[in-house]
Amino acid sequence: MAMAQQTVNTAIDSLTAALKSNIIPNQEYFLQGSILDSSVEVLLHRLRGLCDNVDTNLETFHDHEMCFSIRGPNNTQPLQLRVRRSLDHNGMPMQLRYIGQPEIGDKSRPTVLRNSIDIGTSNTVVEFLTELGCRKDFEYSAKGYMFRKGRMKITVFKVFKIDETRKMMSSGGFDALSPLTHSYLVELSVLAPSGQDAIADDMRCFAEQLRPLVQLEKIDYKRLVHGP
Amino acid sequence: MGVTILLSYPVPENKTGPQTAELLIKRIGALGAVQSGQFLVDCETFSSGPTMGGPPRTVHVLHNSEQPAAVFALLESPGPPPKTVPLVADGLFDLLMLKMSSIYASKKQTRMEARGTRFEIADFLVKIGTVTMSSNFKGVLVEVEYRPCFIAGNCWELMREFMQSFLGSVVQNTPPPYFQVHNRLNDVYQPLDTIQQYLDHFASYRKVAGL
């Protein structure tokens, strides 16, 4: 019988080819802002008018995120990894995310840019990371709404502390969460391959439409950590 | 995916590996199998460096051309107690391992590959492959999948009979060691089970000196 000589490429070869042709969406463009609880309804109303995915009800989400870090050799900056799972939909894959250092850039850059690798995984990922040598730094719960406009994703959510003393209960402590602040965090983001800076201008235009309700801007965390 | 059994076919004294594979291909062809493409299962191993402290941990990252969008990772932790933690992730997991290369280094010379041809015959899928480690031939692996069934205990006898028809007495009358552990004969079969069988065979090939 004739042997077909087509060979199968290795996964690494395919990944390298994809990286070279710049089709892997590993850059995240994003802006952040916040809005007080008392005004969030108005923002949701405005987003319903502007966004795509609002035919029926608002799309909600309730996620649990855990942040791990693993020490590199020679006391270099530890590598941070985040694991996110949905509390509403138990069967869904978990999400493992690597986020690189954010680039704030100068005034000409409308959004923050950071390397972001999003990986869907089976539910053994927490045990896997722990045995790999990662340590859990902190965790929180996020509950809110998700909107989409074209390639842009807009999330309006509240951050909750997880009560450690209730973790042993069957609900995992997720039924009685205490909010961290009296406000909602608003994030506008796009995940794209590198070099698509035009999307940042579209994001700035969209952000303008949400003013003065919420000011979406580039937040420099280093300034927040080190204080005035 | 149906129940899959992986078998190492011993290379006879007077033949080479590729000749053995050809012989098996002829036999399966005589049964009426139709060739349908090629397959590849590869395994790259990463080890933790000294900064991690304690005995080294190993991560085996495997890919199977049958599940092109998935990456399988098996982490061997010395514990105590020693355990293996599996992870199934999508393709970008390889990028993450690259990012962690300073913490988990790849031992490129131990990369193993099982490559060969796929055959379809009635409800079975047969793959006859040669295993190489850095271009050194290690052995011949035969993978047989019975697609309609995903509980090994329900189709073991049928598969044994089919496999003995072209592999002969190499096929034992009892299920392979992999299925005799825990309750595997009654569990739902998953692609991860195929990957674990490949890893077990690759591990035993590594121990054998080059042929």
Query: Which ipTM score applies to this complex?
Result: 0.90
Closest to B134 in 3D by CA, of B72, B10, B45: B45
Q: How many CB atoms lie within 10 A of CB A149?
A: 18
| Confidence at residue A77, expressed as pLDDT on a 0 to 100 scale | 82
CB B9 within 8 A of CB B130: no
Please report residues of A whose CB lies closer than 8 A to that of B73. Answer: 128
Q: Is residue B131 packed enough to be buried (19+ CB in 10 Å), middle (13-18) or exposed (0-12)?
A: buried
Q: Name the stretches of chain A with pLDDT < 50.
A: 1-5
| Confidence at residue A227, expressed as pLDDT on a 0 to 100 scale | 54
Which pTM does this prediction carry?
0.89
Q: How far apart are CA B180 and CA B153, in angstroms?
A: 10
Residue A24 is classified by DSSP as S
pLDDT at B114 over 90: yes
Residue B90: what residue type?
D
Residue A92 host element (H or E): none
Q: Pick from A76, A79, A120: which is nearest to B90 by CB?
A: A120
A contact test, residue of B64, B103, B112, B127 with most A CBs within 10 A: B103
B123-152 pLDDT, tens per residue? 999 999 999 998 889 999 999 999 999 999
Judged by CB atoms closer than 8 Å, whether chains meet at A133 and B103 is answered as: yes
| Confidence at residue A32, expressed as pLDDT on a 0 to 100 scale | 94
Closest to A96 in 3D by CA, of B99, B1, B151: B99
Residue A221: what residue type?
Y
What are the structural domain ranges in chain A?
A: 2-12+26-226
CATH topology for A2-12+26-226?
Hypothetical Protein Pfu-838710-001 (2.40.320)
Q: Of A206-215, B74-83, B157-166, give the lowest mean pLDDT range.
A: B74-83
Q: Residue A195 region, left (φ>0) first, then alpha (ψ -120 to 50), else beta?
A: left
Q: How far is A63 from chain B (nearest CA, A)?
A: 19
Q: Pick from A6, A76, A119: which is nearest to B89 by CB?
A: A119
Q: Which two tokens stand for residue B145?
A: 């999948």
B50-62 pLDDT, tens per residue? 777 778 899 999 9
Q: How far apart are CA A194 and CA B102, in angstroms?
A: 24
B96: pLDDT confidence band, cut at 50, 70 and 90? very high
Closest to B152 in 3D by CA, of B195, B183, B186: B186
